Amino acid sequence: MRCFILAALLIATPAFAANEAGKYQSVLGDCEGCHGRNLAGGVALATPFGKLVTPNITPDVATGIGTWSQEDFRKAMKQGMGKGGKPLYPAMPYVNYALMPDADVAALWTYIRTVKPVRNSVDVNQLKFPFNLRFLMRGWNLLFFKPAPFANDASKNAAWNRGEYLVEGPAHCGACHSPRNFFGADKGGLSGASLQGWWAPDLTGDGRAGLGAWSNDELVQYLQTGRNAHSLASGPMAEAVENSTSRMTDSDLNAIAVYLKDLPPGPGNGGGATGAEAQMQAGARIYQVSCAACHGGDGKGSAIFPPLAGNPIVTQSSPETLARVVLAGAKGAATVKSPTGPAMPSFAWRWNDEQVAAVLTYIRNNWRNVAPAVSADTVTKIRTSLHSAS
Amino acid sequence: MARLLPKRDAVIIGLGWTGAILAQQLTEAGLNVVAIERGPWRDTASDFNIAYIQDELRYGIRKELFLQPAVEAMTMRNNAAQTALPMRDYGSFLPGHGVGGAGVHWNGASWRFWDGDLQIRSQLTRRYGAKKLTGLQLQDWGVTWNELEHSFDQFEYLCGISGKAGNLKGQIQAGGNPFESPRSRGYPTPPMKMSYAPSLFARTVTELGFHPFPTPSANLSTAYVNPLGVALGQCTYCGFCERFGCGNYSKASAQTTILPVLMRKPNFEARTECEVLKINLTPDGKHARSVTYLDAQGVEYEQPGDMVLLCAYGLMNVRMMLLSRIGQPYDPVSGKGVVGRNYCYQTSAAARLFFDGKNFNPFIGAGALGQTMDDFNGDAFDHSHLDFVGGAQINCIITGGRPIGSRPTPPGTPRWGAKWKAETAKNYQNSMGFASQGSSYPVRENYLDLDPTYTDRHGRPLLRMTFDFPDNDIAMSHYVSDRMETIAKSFNAKSWAVSRLKKGWDAVPYQSTHNTGGAVMGADPGTSAVNKYLQSWDVPNVFVIGASAFGHNGGRNPTGTVGALAYWAAEAIATKYIKSPGALVPA
């Protein structure tokens, strides 16, 4: 009966400490986010080039990386080369991991060797022709991958530099939040991007769409708990919070906040809705009937429901996440410090595309929010893509 | 042959209110717990979707969230001379089904029983003499108010109950219930805002010298974060609580208060759509080894555990004990045996008033939005010259003006056709009601046992219910109906009608899902199935948690007391039983 209690009384040994250090590297890199809670892979990633399924990285000999050496692992992490010189697809963020010091990669390797081997055979490459040809990645690397060790900016303080290292390196924030070029390469800038049917929001200092209105503490609170006075993480960010940022140390979270808060404003969201009076009126009626009960007549939300007034996810240049949340519903992040994880139900059944467009235009331009109107065509496209994805 | 699974510290049968509380408390104490739930997983946004949960036909009439007789039926009769027949449809009461249990669809009226309820036999005997209780099988519960008060408090703060204290550590508080037993602190959230009908009721009965107060409600008046860190929303008074899951996270349930924390724990597992067939005992019948259950595919498993916590609906707890041969079945002829003993219900009547020119707006509602007076409840009034004991609360609660069920028409109106339509249109805004909810006291003839004829889909005997309203309770209810007549008169309504309870319980029309007793707690193993910690006298590693433990039913909704008993039992297990497994009270 007491076995569970005993399990908690682990004795701190040097091996234990090294393993914990490696485990923390896996938190920083959010390995679980793509490879699953047990790291056995099998998680499908929808890319613009087709479907990639994440590989099994447990030490299973037959289906995982049980036959790999430490050097094989280092090359995968930092050079994008799998065992035997097989080029990895850059969905594996080796472009970011290349900034990691070898010692941290070694610690991570130590930890990965200790996780439970899981037999799970994964068909990784389900991309469309010609993207299924791995050797093409050699050319991609030549064009877009310029590995270099992380260099401190002497004009900035230690927290800022640690923050830049985390954001651009292991935490690979840009993998979701930075716009991509035609070849899927990160253009940098963290000004928001579309992926997997979600819009990863602008993290720049922009006052409407970005984090300009957030304090450092509020940003730390968001990353630690999944929510703050402005917003509530859902979708892929809820997973990133649950698996990664909520488990980071306070000083690392503070460093991320210091760095992100120093980013200059990005291109912005394109300004307010003009000539949308009819949508605004229709949206106001829908809002009162179907949204105000939880989000409040004043758009301020409550201890459980996120606000819409001043919530940057509402005023992104793209309404993709917003429309998705309304049509398909979404579950908020649930963390130790904020365990509720409230969920938004699907309203796909209740509202047609014109109505969704109207209410989104309304919440994007009511209270003091300012963002472009949403057209019914845009909602139709998102609804269609949600249908084909499910 | 059942597949044998690895042993757990505790196996919980049923993941409703009590199962969730026990699981939360025992996982905190370090135990490895599995909960086995017959119904499906249920979650607010996906199963109580705010975009369509207010579908009265689907949930209110077709009862989508409830236990269906195909899963488990019961047989019913009024007395032992009759042959009990199985219900084809649940009517008089509606047990829950699935994760959250009946706590998903409850109205949210969250009461504490009285301190006097716990010592009912001693107290009434002291006040009126033993003769007054002739024919009633009333008995003390074996636990005292001081022992249980903290557990009531825990449940109320888990839920965030909205109310006004009436008795803070013995100090009577203006605006609260002056008849309540002393509480250690006030409610966690303020009372709900009152709509017109309860406000009018409060004003009217106050003028008559009575003491109305806001009904303590689990439909929260304001957003609330409970001690587990789980947040609930503010009630929107949408009027869809009873028979519905709450789409706004504003009605306390296992889903909105515990499960977000519990489901994250590595030492907890919930197995849904798994039906426990029986609890397996060692050959001497004194120790539970395991439970046998079927999963959704019909595969049979045996789940061993160091203890088994029976946390199903009260009636199902009793049936599981009988099926598993835990405790001696009650025999109404000899009065011997304990399992099935002291089954009680609720004794209710209603008043309906019709006005002209009002705007009651009954669609502004919530399961526990209203006013209550306890002036004629329990032993708050003198019974010396009355021919009964017990009483009823009188409630003006506006659960909602739903379009199918809420069609008040004055007596004499046709039940269909043009005249009925005209009258419903005219009276919807012009009618209000209030109701008594009365105590139900045990008698020798009312009991639960296994049906000798009818079986379920697995071939197990159904539960047989033998029940009628005892004469004592009929007399009580008529007395309260007389008081309701007086109150109704004072409203100066155009017309009114007060119903009077009749002998001959009818299992068809809905009355109340407040079924109590059958595995009652007490200090005497000769008259109780479980001890004061809800531990089986006969099989000490089995605890039986729920309204099944009530020695009688008070004139109150039972959930608050059920929640308190769950915390009370959990504390006994965590602080006493784990250290020294075995009988916590010598038999």
Instruction: Flag whether B587 is in a domain.
Output: no
Report how far Cα B174 is from the mean position of its chain's Cα atoms: 28
Residue A1 pLDDT grade (very low, low, confident, very high; cuts 50, 70, 90) = very low
Distance, CA of A370 to CA of B129 (rounded, Å): 76
**Which positions of chain B have pLDDT values less than 70?**
none
Q: Give 3-state DSSP helix, strand, coil % of chain A, rounded to 5.
A: 45, 10, 50
Global model pTM greater than 0.80: yes
Tokens of A370: 């300012």
List the CATH number of the domain containing B473. Answer: 3.50.50.60
pLDDT beyond 60 at A167? yes
In-domain check, residue B582: no
Which among A2, A340, A346 is the nearest to B231, CB-wise?
A340
Dihedral of alpha carbons A303, A308, A314, A315, sign: negative
Give the model confidence (pLDDT) of A22-49 as tens digits: 999 999 999 999 999 999 999 998 888 8
The interface predicted TM-score of the complex, written ipTM, equals 0.89
- Is the residue at B343 inside a domain? yes
Q: Which residue of B has its CA nearest to A345?
A: B45
- Domain-located, residue B117: yes
Is the Cβ–Cβ distance between A330 and A234 less than 8 Å?
yes
How far apart, in whole angstroms, are the C-alpha atoms of residue B218 and residue B188?
11
Q: Which residues of B are catalytic?
A: 514
Length of chain B in residues, anyone?
A: 587
Give residue A390's pLDDT band: very low, low, confident or very high (50, 70, 90).
low
Distance, CA of B292 to CA of B278 (rounded, Å)? 6
Terminal C-alpha separation, chain B: 36
Which of A5, A329, A339 is facing B230, going by the closest CB pair? A339
- Residue A342 touches partner B, C-beta closer than 8 Å: yes
Tell me which fold the domain A158-261 belongs to: Cytochrome Bc1 Complex; Chain D, domain 2 (1.10.760)
Peptide bond preceding A130 in cis form (omega within 30 of 0):
yes
Kindly indicate whether the domain formed by A277-389 is annotated with CATH number 3.20.20.70: no
Q: Classify A197 in phi/psi space as left (phi over 0), alpha (psi -120 to 50) or beta.
A: left
- Neighbouring residues of B224: CB distance < 8 A, sequence distance ≥ 6: A303, B160, B188, B189, B231, B232
Q: How distant, in Å, are the alpha carbons of A48, B355, B482, B483 from that of B393? A: 65, 24, 13, 11
Q: In which band, very low, low, confident or very high, does the pLDDT at A142 lie, cut at 50, 70 and 90?
A: confident
User: How many distinct structural domains can be found in chain B?
Assistant: 1
Nearest CA in chain A to B268: A4
- pLDDT for A13 beyond 80: no
Q: What are the tokens at B478?
A: 């008529």
Please give the mean pLDDT across all residues of chain A: 92
Whether residue A4 has pLDDT greater than 50:
no
Spatial separation of the C-alpha atoms in residues A46 and A388, rounded to whole Å: 12
CB A242 within 8 A of CB A153: no
pLDDT at B418: 97
Q: How confident is the model at residue A10 (pLDDT cuts 50, 70, 90)?
A: very low
Indicate whether B289 belongs to any domain: yes
Task: For tokens 């609804």, name the residue.
Answer: A383
Gap between the Cα atoms of A79 and A147, Å rounded: 8
Model pLDDT for residues A301-330, shown as the tens digit of each residue: 999 999 999 999 999 999 999 999 999 999
Domain contains B583: no
Which of B223, B224, B261 is nearest residue A339 as measured by Cβ atoms?
B261
pLDDT in tens, A217-272: 999 999 999 999 999 999 999 999 999 999 999 999 999 999 999 999 999 999 99
Q: According to the model, what pLDDT value does residue A107 have?
A: 96
Domain of B95 in residue numbering reads as 3-577
Residue to mutate among B189, B234, B244, B364, with most A CBs inside 10 A, is: B234
Distance from CA of B89 to the nearest CA of A (A): 31
In a domain, B51, yes or no: yes
pLDDT attached to residue A12: 54
| Cα B357 → chain centroid | 37
**In CATH, what number does A14-117 get?**
1.10.760
